[in-house]
């Protein structure tokens, strides 16, 4: 494929990743308004966040197999269209049941999209740029947290939560149409859905389980602290209001840089890069913990930024390692499993952070995150070959 065509196609997929992640996270910032709008409580509306993750994870693998015979370009467009319709239904919801149904439909599109997006980007790319191509898709998701979610939340506060969700629906539908024009046809190999590996077969692929173990440990450790980074930064570093907002913005920029770096390292030095990133991840958390004990923001804030950047490097590294360990027809179901493990990590890490926070031990959260990170370091040290490049050298 011509480099320009490859670049345009992968940026189109990155734009879709941007809007899909924006749609997933926007209701979190508008939860009080949504609860009022559907005549429910914040706690019940909050359950739709877990419901979204459950549906996205539970439907990704079977839908990936069921759609195996179709051109990936059309499946990606259709999954985004389902995501769009789900947001229209959510915006029109007058009660919690309709809200949950709309979020569920959007989650179906979300799970299928992310199961296909990175493998499709890799198939469109030249061998020497496959890591960077898939990394661009992940950069789109990272950028959503920096730009998309704050913009959508701000729109919801100004024009109402229904307007924000309708705007996301409109943009995602436009991008679905754009994909049909900008992404080349990506047909599967001849066969039927029955020819594609099932979940047990995918998990038996050599090296896949260790990579998923690294992912799970990293995500648990990250979200244990990330979920409560605002109260931690406020209590230990005295960061509030605008100062905290600036910190989170710069943190997001570091996450985007980390995603780009992760793609490049995966193309050039996947084993060394992953091992180094896992060690830096733990060292940065140690720095955050030490600075927190000393209430030293000038030492702690840089460590928070390094922590955020290295997490993104590890996310990209593990994602691309999964694709290397699962070639051909196994790539998409394996990527769907990756998404499920990621969601489990988010829920588990948030729960661990919640326990520490509820116990009044916010200072201890980085220690818990370090423990999970140390597990990742150990797995990468003993199973580094699982991250090796597809081609020798």
3-state DSSP of 52-65: HHHHHHHHHHHHHH
Residues 168, 169, 171, 175, CA torsion sign: positive
Rounded distance between C-alpha atoms, residue 71 and residue 61, angstroms: 17
Summarize the confidence of residues 101-107 as an average pLDDT.
Answer: 95
Higher pLDDT, 200 or 189: 200
The pLDDT of residue 106 is above 90: yes
In this structure, the number of other CB atoms found within 10 A of the CB of residue 237 comes to: 22
Fold equal for 3-183 and 199-387: yes
Helix, strand and coil content of the chain, in percent to the nearest 5, comes to: 85, 0, 15
Summarize the confidence of residues 58-73 as an average pLDDT.
Answer: 84
Q: Please choose, from the candidates 293, 288, 294, 285, the residue with its C-alpha nearest in 3D space to the C-alpha of residue 377.
A: 285
Residue with tokens 């629906």: 169
Q: Do 276 and 328 meet the contact criterion of CB atoms below 8 Å apart? A: no
Higher pLDDT, 219 or 340: 219
Q: Do 81 and 69 meet the contact criterion of CB atoms below 8 Å apart? A: no
Rounded distance between C-alpha atoms, residue 320 and residue 117, angstroms: 12
Residues 130, 131, 136, 140, CA torsion sign: positive
Torsion angles phi and psi, residue 206, rounded to 5: -55, 130
The pLDDT of residue 190 is above 50: no
Q: Output DSSP code: residue 196.
A: S
171 alpha-carbon distance from chain centroid: 20
Q: How many residues does the chain have?
A: 393
Residues 6+ apart with CB under 8 A from 207: 321, 325, 383, 385, 386
* pLDDT the model gives residue 366: 94
Tell me the whole-structure pTM to 2 decimals.
Answer: 0.76
Alpha-carbon distances of 118 from 225, 258, 352, 384, rounded to whole Å: 27, 17, 30, 22
Residue range 17-46, pLDDT digits in tens: 899 989 987 887 788 888 889 998 877 887
179 alpha-carbon distance from chain centroid: 20
Q: Do 136 and 121 meet the contact criterion of CB atoms below 8 Å apart? A: yes
Rounded distance between C-alpha atoms, residue 252 and residue 343, angstroms: 20
Domain boundaries, the chain: 3-183, 199-387
Confidence of residue 195 (pLDDT cuts 50, 70, 90): low
Alpha-carbon distances of 244 from 36, 233, 284, rounded to whole Å: 28, 8, 19
Q: Do 329 and 196 meet the contact criterion of CB atoms below 8 Å apart? A: yes
Q: Which fold has domain 199-387?
A: Growth Hormone; Chain: A; (1.20.1250)
Least confident of 62-71, 279-288, 307-316: 62-71
Q: Do 99 and 117 meet the contact criterion of CB atoms below 8 Å apart? A: no
Residue range 356-378, pLDDT digits in tens: 888 888 889 999 999 999 999 99
For domain 3-183, give the CATH superfamily: MFS general substrate transporter like domains (1.20.1250.20)
Alpha-carbon distances of 73 from 17, 79, 180, 197, rounded to whole Å: 14, 10, 6, 21
Q: Which two tokens stand for residue 32?
A: 């009080």
Q: Do 368 and 246 meet the contact criterion of CB atoms below 8 Å apart? A: no
Q: CB-side exposure of 84: number of CA atoms within 13 Å?
A: 17
Mean pLDDT of all residues in the chain?
84
């Amino acid at each position: 494929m011509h480099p320009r065509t490859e670049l345009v196609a992968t940026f189109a997929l990155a734009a879709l990743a941007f809007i899909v992640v924006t749609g997933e996270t926007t209701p979190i910032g508008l939860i009080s308004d949504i609860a009022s709008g559907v005549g429910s409580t914040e706690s019940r509306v909050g359950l739709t966040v877990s419901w979204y993750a459950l549906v996205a994870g539970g439907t990704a693998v079977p839908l990936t197999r069921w759609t195996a015979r179709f051109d990936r370009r059309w499946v990606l467009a259709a999954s985004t269209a389902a995501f769009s319709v789900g947001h229209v239904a959510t915006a029109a919801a007058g009660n919690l049941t309709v809200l949950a149904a709309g979020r569920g439909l959007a989650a179906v599109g979300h799970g299928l999209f992310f199961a296909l997006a990175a493998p499709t980007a890799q198939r469109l790319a030249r061998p020497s740029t496959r890591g960077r191509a898939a990394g661009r898709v992940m950069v789109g998701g990272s950028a959503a947290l920096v730009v998309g979610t704050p913009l959508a939340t701000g729109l919801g506060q100004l024009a109402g939560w229904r307007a924000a969700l309708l705007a996301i629906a409109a943009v995602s539908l436009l991008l679905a149409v754009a994909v049909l024009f900008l992404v080349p046809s990506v047909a599967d190999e001849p066969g039927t859905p029955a020819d594609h590996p099932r979940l047990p077969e995918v998990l038996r692929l050599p090296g896949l389980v260790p990579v998923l173990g690294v992912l799970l440990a990293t995500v648990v450790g990250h979200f244990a602290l990330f979920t409560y980074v605002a109260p931690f930064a406020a209590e230990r570093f005295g960061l509030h209001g605008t100062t905290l907002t600036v910190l989170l913005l710069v943190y997001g920029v570091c996450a985007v840089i980390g995603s780009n770096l992760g793609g490049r390292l995966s193309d050039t030095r996947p084993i060394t890069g992953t091992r180094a990133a896992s060690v830096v991840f733990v060292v940065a958390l140690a720095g955050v913990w030490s600075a927190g004990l000393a209430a030293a923001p000038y030492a702690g804030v840089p460590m928070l930024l390094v922590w955020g950047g290295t997490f993104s490097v590890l996310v990209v590294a593990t994602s691309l390692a999964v694709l290397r360990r699962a070639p051909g027809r196994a790539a998409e179901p394996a990527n769907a499993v990756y998404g499920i493990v990621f969601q489990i990590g988010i829920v588990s890490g948030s729960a661990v952070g919640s326990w520490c926070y509820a116990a009044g031990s916010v200072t201890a959260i980085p220690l818990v995150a370090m423990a999970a990170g140390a597990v990742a370091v150990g797995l990468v040290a003993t199973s580094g070959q699982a991250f090796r490049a597809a081609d020798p050298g």
